[in-house]
């Protein structure tokens, strides 16, 4: 009924790993947004340039596109690295199902 110390430490470790992944992706999104702003400043494009009424601004679009590309590259990289036994065990440890 009660958790053992080992189970408790595994839960804490998994929580720390998943939380750091989420914060890392948030920081990556912020970095992409600032990169989009610097690109707009470099090319003299207004940051709020929108092609349609529902489209986000130009800087946000650049940030979203970079984030999607980087997330896809990360997915492909993890999928290729799962061939190695240590990384496969780590992905099973944090319950990543690819």
Please give the Cα distance from 21 to 40 (Å, whole number).
29
Residue-wise pLDDT tens digits, 18-56:
899 889 988 988 888 888 888 888 888 777 766 655 667
Query: pTM, whole model, 2 decimals?
Result: 0.63
Task: Find tokens 């099973």 and name the residue.
Answer: 92
Provide CB contacts within 8 A for 16, sequence distance 6+.
none
Q: Name the nearest CA neighbour of 24 among 78, 91, 74, 98.
A: 74
Q: In this structure, what are the phi and psi dihedrals at residue 84, rounded to the nearest 5 degrees?
A: -80, 140
């Amino acid at each position: 009924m009660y958790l053992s110390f080992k189970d408790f430490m595994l839960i804490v470790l998994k929580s720390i790993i998943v939380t750091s992944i989420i914060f890392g992706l948030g920081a990556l999104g912020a970095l992409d947004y600032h990169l989009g702003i610097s690109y707009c400043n470099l090319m003299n494009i207004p940051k709020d340039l929108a092609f349609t009424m529902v489209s986000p601004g130009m800087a946000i679009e650049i940030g979203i596109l970079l984030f999607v590309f980087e997330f896809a590259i990360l997915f492909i990289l993890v999928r290729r690295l799962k061939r190695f036994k240590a990384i496969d065990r780590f992905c099973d440890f944090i319950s990543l199902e690819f």
